[in-house]
Structure 1
Amino acid sequence: MRMTMRTTLASVLVALMASAAHADVTLSVLLDTNSETTALFEALSKSYQQKRPDVSFDVESRPGGSEGDNLVKTRLATGEMADIFQYNSGSLFQALKPERTLADLSGLGNAGNVTDIFRKVVTAPDGTLRGIPFGPAMGGGIFYNRKIYADLGLQVPKTWAEFMANNAKIKAAGKVAIAQTYGDTWTSQLFVLADFYNVSTALPDFATKYTANQVKYATTPVALRGFEHIEEVAKAGLFNPDFGAARFGDGMRMVATGQAAHFPMLTFGIGNVSQNNPEALPDLGFFAQPGDDATKNGLTIWMPSALYAPAKSENAAEAKKFLDWAASREACEQMAAAVPSGPYLIKDCSLPKSIPQAVSDMLPYFETAGRTAPALEFLSPIKGPALEQITVEVGSGIRSARDAAALYDQDVQKQAKQLGLPNW
C-alpha cells in the first residue's frame, strides 16, 4: 500500500511538473505590414503550433519606414516591446544598441545554422548573436513586365543608357515606363540604394572611407549617380500620374499586370504578387539596376530582416525556444515553400523546385562570383533616417540631385555622431 501511494504521488508530481513546463502561453509578436512578412510568419507559427499546441501568438503590425523605426526604438526604450519582433538587420539593427536591448541568442541549439554572411549583420558589438534570419536574401533592382518587353521587342538592359532607351520606347507606346509609389516614402530610395553595386565596383573602399568620413555622396561622382538617376527619370516624365499617392502594393500590381513596365524595388515584392496577383507571376521579370559598363553588370543585395526578442520580457524563455526553432532547417524550408522569393540564409536550406520567374532571373547573380555586393547599410553602420524624404523631393521635382546628396550627407553626419563614430 505504501509503495502504491508513493508511486501515485510521484506520478502526480511528474504530471504537475509537465503541466507547469507546458503551461499555455501567448507570445506577442510585432511585424511590419508587408504581405510577405505575414505569409512567412504564418508558415512558421502554424508549423510550430503543431509541435507546441500550448503556444499561441498575438500578432500586431507596425508601419514601415522611419515611422516604424521610431516605434521599435520607443518600445524597446520603454519596455513595451513584444516578446518577438521582426526588424531590419545591418545598420538599423546596430542603431538599436543590441548589446543592451536585445536578448543574446548565441547559446541557442540551432544558432550554428545561421550562415556566416548573415551572422555578421545581426552580431552586437560585444560579439554575440542577437537575431535569426527571417525570409530570403533580396536583390535590389528593377522589376519589369515581360509581356511589354516582348511586345515592344526590348532586351533586358545592362547599362543605364540602355535602360533609358527602353523607357523612351515604352513612353512613346503610350505606356507608363516606371511605377513610383511615394505614398509609401520608403519606396523612393531604390534608385540610390540599389546602385551601390556600381559604386562599390568603381570604388571598392567606398564603404570603409564613408564610415571614416573620408568620402561624401555629393562630392563622389559615382555615388551621386543614384540621386541623378531619380532626377533624370522624373524630368523625363516616366512615372504614373498618381505616383505621389500610390503605395507599394500598387507598384507591384502595376508592373505585374502590365499597367507599368518597370518598378524599382527589392525582390521581396515577389511575395506581394504571389498573394495578390498570382496569375501574373509568369509575366514578372527582374534585373539588376544597370550601371555605366555592361561588362560589370551586377546586383546589390539586401540581407533579410531578423526575428529578435527584447532583453527583458515576461516570456523570454518561450520566445527563445521559438527563435531556436526558427533557426532550424525544417523551419527555413517551411518559409521557403511559403515564399520562394530568393535564397535563404540557414545552412542547407533549399528552395522548392518550382520558383517564380523573377526568382529565376535573380539567382544567376548569386551563382556567379563577383556579380553581387551587399548594400551599403550592411557594410557601414551609417544610414541617415531622412533619405526617403529626400528622395521623394528629388522625384517630385522639389530638390536637385546635387542638393539632395549634400542634404543627405548632413543627415548622415547626425547619425554618425549619435553612434559615436571616430572622425565625425
Structure 2
Amino acid sequence: MKKEGTAVKARWKLLTTAAVLALSTALAGCGGSNGQDAAPSASGNGQQQTKAQDTNDKNFTIRVGAWFLDDRPHMQVFKKAVEEKYKTLYPNAQIQWDVVLGSTYFDKLRAQFASDSAPDVVFYQGQEFAKSGNLEDLSDEPWVSRLTDGAKMDVQSHYNGNTYALPMGMAIGGGVWYNKKIFADLDLQPPKTIDDWMQVNEKVKAAGKVPVTLGFKDSWTASMFLSQWFVSMGFSTDPQYGMKVYNGEIKLADDPAIRNVMETFEKMKKQEHFNKNALSIDWPQSGQMFASGDAAMIMQGAWMPGTNADNIQKGGFEPFDIGFFPLMDDKGNVSIQLSSNEAVGVNAKSKLKKEAKDLVNLITNQEIIAPFNKGEGSLAVLSDVTVQYDYPVLDELVDLVNKSNVIPYRLQNFIPASAHTSLVEAVTKVVSGVKFDPKDLEAAQDNFEKDKATVILP
C-alpha cells in the first residue's frame, strides 16, 4: 500500500473492466423466453470433483457454517443442490448446516476458531480469518485458475498473494431500490443528488407512503446503509480517502464526509422520510413493507429483486417493477463498491480437509453457483459460468456499472471493527430521533486509535 496512488488506481481500473465484462456477458442471454439458467457446458464446470473414481463410501458428517442461508427459495435450492452433488462424491456422508442468521454468526465463528470447534467449511466475510491462520490455503485448488480477473482481486477471499476462499459472487455493496409504479404515479425520476432525493421523499410522503423503509433492528442493515454512503461521500472525490483515514490525515471525529452522512440521516429522520418503527423491525419486515407498496424505497443489496418478487408472491401483493439508484453525495458524485458478499473457505484444522475442499470445489459447478448468483443478483466469479437473470432492473445495473467509478474497498477496510461499530451506533442514535452531536464521533476516533493494529489493509 506504500505506492497506493498508482497501484490502487490500476487495480480499480482492472476490477471495473473485469466486472463490466463479466456482468455484460452474464446478462447477454437475458432475452430468452423462460429466463432459466443455461445448461452446464459439455466440458462440465467443476467436474474434477464429480468423477466416479472420486466416490468414497466412508461414513461421516461434515459441518458447514453460514449466516445467510435463510428460507429464501434460491437459498434452499442452493443447499439442496450442494447436498445432492456431494452425495455423488460421498454417498454415505451427511452435511450439517450450522446456520446462525445475522451478525452474531461471526462472533460465534471467532469463538469456535479459538476453541478448535469451527465447522469444516466456513462461509465468512472480511480478511481476519485468513490472516489469523484459521483458513486453509486453497491456492492450488482446480477452480482458482477459473476465477475472473475481478474475482482474483477480491480482498476478502485473498490475502498476502494467496487464495483462501471461493468468492461466491461479485456484488455491489448496496443501493436504493424503488417502486417504479409509485414513481410513475407521482411523476418522479430517480434522484441524482441529495437535494433531489429530499424532494422525491417529500412527494412520496405527501402521497401517504413511507419514502424509505429501514429494518435497523438488524444492525447489519444500518452498517450497509452507512458504509455505502461513505463510499460515495468519501471515495468519489478522493481515491486516497481510505488510506488518509488509516494514516491519520483524516480524523473520524471531524471528517466532513462522515458528518455530512450523519447530518443527512438526521434531516431525513426529522422530515419523516423513514418509517417510524425503523429500529424495531428487522430486514425481512422492511422488505415486506416495500413489497406491499407501503414504502417507495429500500436500501439493500443486489439480492433485492429476487427477494422482492418472492415477498410479493407470498404476501399476495400487487406486482410491480423495481428500479435502482446508488447513494450519492451533495453534488451527485457516485462510486459503486464491488466485492464478494460471501466467501467460502476450509477450516485449517478440519479433520476432513480433503472432503471439505471437495465440497467447496463442487460449489463451482454451473448448476450450483449460477442459480445462487441469479438469486443474489451477483456477478459470476468463474470464467466458464454463465448466469441468466430474471429481472430487468439488472440491465439498469449493468449500465450504471459501466458509467460509474467502481472500487473494491469500503471504509471498513481501513478502520478497526470497533470504530465502525461506533459509527453505526452513532447513526442508529440519530435514527432514533436524537439530534446528531459531533461528539458522538469521538468514540469512533478513540476506538480507531486503540485498535488500529487490528486493521488488515487490502
Quick one: which amino acid aligns to residue 97 of structure 2? Answer: V
Equivalent position of 2:396 in the other structure = 361
Distance 2:415 2:386 in 1: 30
Match of 2:354 among 314, 317, 324: 317
Q: Which moved more, 1:328-337 or 1:146-155?
A: 328-337
Is 1:227 the counterpart of 2:265? The answer is no
Q: Which moved more, 1:187-196 or 1:169-178?
A: 187-196
Distance 1:281 1:130 in 2: 41
Match of 2:152 among 109, 114, 119: 119
Is the 1:86–1:305 contact (alpha carbons within 8 Å) kept by the matching residues of 2?
A: yes
Match of 2:199 among 155, 159, 165: 165
- Report the TM-score, using the length of structure 2 for normalisation: 0.78
**Structure 2 vs 1, CA of residues 411 and 79 (structure 1 numbering), >3 Å: closer, same or farther?**
same
**1:325-344 paired onto structure 2 within 5 Å:** 325-329=362-366, 331-337=368-374, 339=375, 341-344=377-380
Equivalent position of 1:284 in the other structure = 322
Match of 1:398 among 423, 434, 449: 434
Is 1:147 the counterpart of 2:219? The answer is no
Is the 2:302–2:376 contact (alpha carbons within 8 Å) kept by the matching residues of 1?
A: no
| Cα displacement (A) at 1:302 | 4.1
**Structure 2 vs 1, CA of residues 146 and 414 (structure 1 numbering), >3 Å: closer, same or farther?**
farther
Distance 1:380 1:83 in 2: 29
| Cα displacement (A) at 1:46 | 4.3
Is the 1:288–1:299 contact (alpha carbons within 8 Å) kept by the matching residues of 2?
A: yes
| Cα displacement (A) at 1:146 | 1.3
* C-alpha distance after superposition, 1:260-289 (max 9, x if no partner): 111122223334324333476643222101
Segments of 5+ residues of structure 2 without an aligned counterpart are 1-52
Distance 2:402 2:216 in 1: 33
Is the 2:177–2:325 contact (alpha carbons within 8 Å) kept by the matching residues of 1?
A: yes
Q: Secondary structure at the match of 1:27?
A: strand
Distance 2:158 2:405 in 1: 28
* C-alpha distance after superposition, 1:191-219 (max 9, x if no partner): 42112134212112111212222212332
Equivalent position of 1:13 in the other structure = none
Q: Secondary structure at the match of 1:242?
A: coil
| Cα displacement (A) at 1:179 | 0.7
Quick one: which amino acid aligns to residue 414 of structure 1? Answer: K
**Structure 2 vs 1, CA of residues 114 and 185 (structure 1 numbering), >3 Å: closer, same or farther?**
same
Distance 1:420 1:137 in 2: 21
Is 1:109 the counterpart of 2:145? The answer is no
Quick one: which amino acid aligns to residue 218 of structure 2? Answer: D
Distance 1:105 1:252 in 2: 37
Match of 2:303 among 246, 268, 291: 268
Is the 2:78–2:368 contact (alpha carbons within 8 Å) kept by the matching residues of 1?
A: no
Largest Rg, 1 or 2:
1
Q: Secondary structure at the match of 1:30?
A: strand
Q: Which moved more, 1:153-162 or 1:27-36?
A: 27-36
* C-alpha distance after superposition, 1:42-74 (max 9, x if no partner): 264145236335243111211323x33211111
Distance 1:381 1:115 in 2: 28
**Structure 2 vs 1, CA of residues 359 and 50 (structure 1 numbering), >3 Å: closer, same or farther?**
farther
Is 1:186 the counterpart of 2:224? The answer is no
| Cα displacement (A) at 1:110 | 1.0
**Structure 2 vs 1, CA of residues 348 and 399 (structure 1 numbering), >3 Å: closer, same or farther?**
farther
Quick one: which amino acid aligns to residue 128 of structure 2? Answer: A
Equivalent position of 2:121 in the other structure = 84
Equivalent position of 1:94 in the other structure = 127
Distance 2:69 2:435 in 1: 29
Equivalent position of 1:52 in the other structure = 89
Equivalent position of 1:252 in the other structure = 287
Identity of aligned residues (%): 22
| Cα displacement (A) at 1:40 | 6.4
Is the 1:341–1:355 contact (alpha carbons within 8 Å) kept by the matching residues of 2?
A: no
**Structure 2 vs 1, CA of residues 19 and 322 (structure 1 numbering), >3 Å: closer, same or farther?**
closer
